[in-house]
Amino acid sequence: MHYYIITGASRGLGKALAEEILKQPDTRVVGVSRHATIEHERYHHQPLDLSDSVAVENNLTKVFGQWNDAKSITLINNAGVLGEIGYMGELPNEHYGFVFTVNTIVPAMFMNTFLSVYASYQVPRTVLNISSGAAQRPVDGWGAYCASKSALEMLSLVAQKEQDARNTGVRIRALSPGVIDTGMQEHIRSADEQQFSEVPRFASLHQEGKLQDASEVALKIVQWIHKPEHQTDDVLVQIKHLA
């Protein structure tokens, strides 16, 4: 059996990934989110508020099972939040704690637990962190989002270097999936242009039908995960480079 753990599996790309994976008969998915939106005999929902790091720490044993029949185990840190859109100095401090908890701290906790629990397993093990192009460029109004995703990418780079040093065979990747037609995009398009200068560009992408469909992106990602040649890929990956 091939096991997948997916955070933020209740909607958007996370839900599309879970549904795509479950099309294969030898798969099981543990979806981690506040609400369950998938019903399937091989899908297990673990209710968890990923903005509450204490609750996450107390419930990690429910997420990472001991799977003796595993042929492979994959963690997809998909959950992410943009938070409030606004300039630094004009936002409450709580905004930064919220965004960094969901986008960086909790994914780090999941990675750390994954690597510990499955250290003795001799099957293919993969950690895929969903990042963003915003990790590599400053976007006004998105300070916490840009910085938290950039931190997630550096965590991925360091963790892969460590796994290589231990010769574990674990592969860790951070993937920028591009602009997808999700609820986050609706939030972006509704922003005040005084707080986010790129509103017109994102509105144009929507109007011109240039947003990617989540199910199509999910299919590309799942096909890519299954390709063994990815052992030699760069740690930081963009969706447009997936073959």
Tell me the pLDDT tens digit for each residue of 5-22.
Answer: 999 999 999 999 999 999
2-180+213-241 placed in CATH 3.40.50.720: yes
**Predicted TM-score of the model (pTM):** 0.95
Q: At what angle do helices 143-166 and 93-100 cross, to 10 degrees?
A: 30
Q: Residue 199, Cβ neighbours under 10 Å: how many?
A: 18
Q: For the chain, what are the domain ranges?
A: 2-180+213-241
Dump pLDDT digits (tens) for 171-203: 999 999 999 988 889 889 988 899 999 989 988
CA–CA separation, 100 and 43 (whole Å)? 28
